[in-house]
Chains A and B, each alone.
Chain A
Amino acid sequence: MTENPTTGSGPAFVPEQAGPPAQGTAFLSVRDLKVHFPTDDGLVKSVDGLSFDLERGKTLGIVGESGSGKSVTSLAIMGLHRTGNARSRPHISGQVVLDGEDLVRADADHVRKLRGHKMAMVFQDPLSAMHPYYSVGKQIIEAYRTHHDVDKKTARTRAVEMLDRVGIPEPHRRVDAYPHEFSGGMRQRAMIAMALVNNPELLIADEPTTALDVTVQAQILDLIRDLQKEFGSAVIMITHDLGVVAEMADDILVMYGGRCVERGSAEKVFYEPRHPYTWGLLGSMPRIDREQTERLIPVKGSPPSLINIPSGCAFNPRCPYADVPKGGITRTQRPELTEDGGRHWSACHMSHDERTRIWTEEIAPKL
C-alpha cells in the first residue's frame, strides 16, 4: 500500500504568501477559504482558513476524518454552496482562484457554467448520486448537452464513447440501462464518465472508492489515474483512506477541525510527517509490508465539534503529546501553519527538534 508515491517533476505547491495571492501562478489557488454555516446552535466553522495550490496534471490528496471539512471544501470549490435554498447557504470567504478567476466572487451563473465543464466532481456513493429514474446514458447526455450545443444523437455517441473509455462492456447496450442495473463499480465508472464527458480541467473526487468493494477500489483508482494522464486534468482526491492517497497523490493536505494541520509532498508527509495527528493516521493504517506484530493504534477520541472550536490547537484534546512543554505557549494559542523543511508545512506548537525526536524514536519504529 505504501509504495513510494510518484512525485512529478515540477512543484505542485507554490509557497504560501502572506500578502495577496499571486494570481495566475497556480491552476487552482485556494486562499484562506472559510465556509461557515449559521445554525440555531451557533456558527459551524466547517472550513476555517484553508489555503493550497494545485497545478494541472497533479493530484492533491485531502485527508481527514469525517467532519474535518474535506467535503465542504470540495463543494465550496465547485460553488455548490451557492445553489439551492438561499436560507441554508453558508457564509463563504477567502478566494478560490481557478485559472486566474476568483470563483467566490464570480457571478453565480458564470460559476454554474464552469461546473461540470471546467471543473467536475465524482461523488462517494454512485447509487444515490445518480438519478434513479433516468438511464445512465440520459444522465451523461444531459451533462454533455448542458455545455455543448449538439443534438441528442451526437451527445449519445459521445456518451457511448465515454462509457467505453471508462471500461464499461457493451457500452452501446449499457447506455440505456438504469443506475440500479449496474454493479457498484460499474456505477462509479459511469459516474466518472459523466464527470469527464466535458473534459474538465479540474476533477474533484470525493471519496470515490469508499462505497465500493475493496476489489473494485483499485480499478477505480487506476482508471482515475489513467484518465488524468490522458486528459491532463488536475485532481483533488478527497479521502479518509491514506492508502488511496499513497497510491494517487503528488501532494497531501491533512485536515483537522476545518483547518490544514499538515501539507507537503506525498513523500514528505508519508516518510517525515510532522504533526501528531498525521502520526495517528499513519498508526491507524494497516500495512501489508510489515508483520502484524502490533495492533493498529486508533486515534483516541472523536473529531471536535465545529461549533465553538477551542481557541487553541483543535487537536489538543486528543493529542498524546499535549503535555509536552511548548516553551511558554499557552493552550489558547492556535498553532499556525509554518514551513518546516522545504515545501512541508505543519501546525504544531512542539519544537522542530522535539517532533523529529518523537517521530524517529517513538513513532516510526512502530509503523
Chain B
Amino acid sequence: MLVYLIRRLFNVVATLLVVSVVTFGIFFAVPKITGSDPALMYAGRETNETALAGIRVKMGFDKPISEQYLTFVKGIFVGRDYDGGTDVTHCAAPCFGYSFKTEAPVWETMVDRMPVTLSLALGAAVIWVIAGVATGVVSALKRRTAIDRTVMVGALAGVSLPIFFTGMVAPAIFVYGLGWLDVSNYRPLTEDPVAWLNSMLLPWVTLAFLFAATYARITRATMLDVLGEDYIRTARAKGLKEGVVIRKHALRSTLTPIVTMFGLDLGGLLGGAVLTETTFNFQGLGTAAVAAIGQGDLPVIMGVTLLAALFVVMANLIVDLLYAVIDPRVRLT
C-alpha cells in the first residue's frame, strides 16, 4: 500500500514534469514560429531596443532554454528574483511568472479566479451526482415504462444540448419567465452567501444538467447489468426485501464506475468550465485561459495548463485509491 502510494506519487510528479516541459516548450516555440518577441509583449506599445534588451535580461530571455525552464520550475517551488541589474523584482513562490497583458503575477490571477471555478464545479458536481444517479436508478428499476422513457429522453436532451444553449434558455425560463431567480454576476461566498447562492444556482443547474444526463445514462446501464448478476439473484434467494437488494447489493456495485467517472470529470472541471463561465459571464479559470489564448498571453496559458493538469492527475490518484476502498478485489500493488 505504501509502496503503491509512493510509486503513484512519483507518477504524479513525472506526469506534471512532462506537462510542464511540453507547455514550456510551446511557450518558447510559439514566439519563434510567429516571429514575435516575448520581451516585446512585456514592453508595451512605446519601446526601444535598449528597453527591450533590459527586459530580456530581467526576464531571463537571454539565457538558454534549459536554464530558463529550470528557473521557471524553481520559481514555482521557491520563488524567483527577476534581476534587471539595477532593479530586482521578487516573485514569491509559487511563481508562475507575469502576465504579458496585465503584468500581474500569474499565480495571483489564478488565485483570484479559482473561487469562481471551484464554486461552479463543486456545486454543480453535487447536483449532477445526486440527480444523475437517482434518475438513472429509477429509470433502471422502471425500465421500459413511461417514467424510464421520459427520463431517457431528458437525458438525451442533456447530452445533446450545448451549454451555451441551455445556459441561455435556463435564465429565460427561471429568471424572466417564472421569476424564481435573479440573474446576477458572481459574488464571493465569503462576502455574501445569499448573493453567492443566487448567482450560482443557474450556472450549477446548467452545468449539472449536462453531466447529470451522462450519469443517468451510465447509471441506468450499469444498474441493469448489475441487476442481472448472479449475486443479485442470491440476495433475493436469501429472502431480502427488494429495497435492501437494490440499496445494499445493486447500488453498491453500480456506484463503482460512477465514482471513477466522477473523479475524472470533477478534476477536469476544476481546471475551468469554459463554456459555462463564458455563458454566465463569470471570471473563472476557464475564461482566463480562453482570454489568455486570444491574447497570446503565454505565461497565463502555462499557469492555467499546469494547474488544470495538477487537478486531473490528483483526481486520478484519488479515484484509484478510492477504488481500492470500494472494491476489496482491487489490490494496490
B10: shortest Cβ distance to chain A, in Å?
29
13 cross-chain CB contacts under 8 A: A83-B242, A83-B245, A85-B144, A112-B241, A116-B238, A128-B229, A129-B231, A131-B234, A132-B329, A142-B238, A143-B239, A147-B239, A180-B329
Q: Is A113 an interface residue (CB 8 A)?
A: yes
Q: Is B279 part of the binding interface, using a Cβ–Cβ cutoff of 8 Å?
A: no
Establish whether residues B143 and A85, one from each chain, have CB atoms under 8 Å apart when the complex forms: yes
Is the CB of B3 closer than 8 A to any CB of chain A? no
Contact B141 A132 (CB under 8 A): no
Contact among B231, B239, B248, B253 with A113 in the assembled complex (CB-CB below 8 Å): B239
- Which A residues are in CB contact (< 8 Å) with B252? 131, 133
- The reply to whether A87 and B143 form a contact with Cβ atoms under 8 Å apart is yes
Q: Which residue of B lies closest to A138 (CB)?
A: B248
Interface Cβ pair total, 8 Å cutoff: 79
Q: What range describes how many residues of A lie at the interface?
A: 20 to 34
Is B240 part of the binding interface, using a Cβ–Cβ cutoff of 8 Å? yes
Flag A121-160 by CB within 8 Å of B: 1 or 0 each: 1010100111111010000001100110000000000000
Contact A143 B238 (CB under 8 A): yes
A180 to B144, CA, bound (A): 35
CB pair A83–B230 under 8 Å, yes or no, is: no
Q: Give 3 closest A-B pairs by Cβ, nearest first.
A: A116-B239, A115-B239, A116-B238
Residues of A86-101 contacting chain B, CB below 8 A: 87
List residues of B (217-261) whose CB comes within 8 Å of A's CBs.
227, 229-231, 233-242, 245, 248-249, 252-253
A85 touches B230 (CB 8 A): no
Total B residues in contact with A, Cβ cutoff 8 Å? 27
Least Cβ distance of B298 to chain A in Å? 48
A19 at the interface (CB under 8 A from B): no
Q: Contact: A114 with B328, CB < 8 Å? A: no
Q: Which of B236, B238, B241, B249 has the most CB of A within 10 A?
A: B238
**What is the distance, in angstroms, from B136's C-beta to the closest C-beta of chain A?**
15
Contact assessment for B233 and A123 in the assembled complex, using a CB-CB cutoff below 8 Å: yes
**A178 sits at the interface (CB 8 A):** yes
What residues of chain B lie closer than 8 Å to A180, measured between beta carbons? 328-329
* A97 vs B230: C-alpha distance when bound (angstroms): 26
Contact of B144 among A87, A117, A133, A135 (CB under 8 A): A87
Which residue from chain A places its CB closest to the CB of B328 in the assembled complex? A178
A128 and B227 within 8 A (CB):
no
**Nearest CB to that of B240 among chain A residues?**
A146
B231 partner, pick from A78, A84, A132, beta carbons under 8 A = A132
Q: Which residues of B contact A162 (CB under 8 A)?
A: none
Tell me which of A116, A117, A180 has the highest count of chain B C-beta atoms within 10 A of its own C-beta. Answer: A116
Is there an interface contact between A85 and B242, defined as CB atoms closer than 8 Å? no
- Is B326 in the interface zone, CB < 8 Å from A? yes
Report the Cα distance A151→B237, complex, angstroms: 22
Q: Which residue of B lies closest to A109 (CB)?
A: B241
* Complex: A178 Cα to B327 Cα, angstroms: 10
**Within the assembled complex, what's the spacing in Å between the Cα atoms of A180 and B327?**
11
Interchain nearest-CB distance for B107 vs A (Å): 43
Residue in B234, B240, B253 whose beta carbon sits within 8 Å of that of A123 in the complex: B234
CA distance A83 to B143 in the complex (A): 14
Option from A84, A115, A132 in Cβ contact (under 8 Å) with B237: A115
Partner of B326 from A85, A120, A133, A147 at Cβ < 8 Å: A133
What separation, in Å, do the CA atoms of A117 and B240 have in the docked complex?
A: 11
Is B234 a contact partner of A146 (Cβ separation < 8 A)? no
- A212 at interface (Cβ–Cβ under 8 A)? no
List residues of chain B with CB within 8 A of the CB of A75: 233
Q: Out of B143, B230, B238, B329, which one reaches A146, CB within 8 Å?
A: B238
Question: In the assembled complex, which residues on chain A have CB atoms less than 8 Å from the CB atom of B327?
Answer: 132-133
Contact A115 B234 (CB under 8 A): no
Contact of A128 among B230, B235, B326 (CB under 8 A): B230
Residues on the B chain within 8 Å of A220, using CB: none
Besides A115-B236, A115-B238, A130-B231, 9 other A-B contacts (C-beta < 8 A): A80-B237, A83-B236, A83-B242, A120-B237, A123-B237, A125-B230, A128-B231, A129-B233, A194-B238
**Closest residue on chain B to residue A85 by CB atoms:** B143
* Known interface pairs A133-B327, A178-B328; A123-B230 also in contact (CB < 8 Å): yes
CB A71 to nearest CB in B, in angstroms, measures 11
Bound: A85/B147 CA distance, A: 14
The CA of A173 and the CA of B239, in the complex, are separated in Å by 27
B235, A131: Cβ atoms closer than 8 Å:
yes
Which chain B residue has the least Cβ–Cβ distance from A135? B328
With A85-B141, A133-B328 already in contact, the answer to whether A142 and B230 are too (CB < 8 A) is: no
Q: Which of A164-202 contact B (CB under 8 A)?
A: 178, 180, 194
Instruction: State whether B328 touches A132 (Cβ < 8 A).
Output: yes
Q: How far is the CA of A83 from the CA of B245 in the complex (A)?
A: 10
- Complex-state Cα separation, A80 to B239, whole angstroms: 10
A180 to B331, CA, bound (A): 12
Q: How far is the CA of A84 from the CA of B252 in the complex (A)?
A: 17
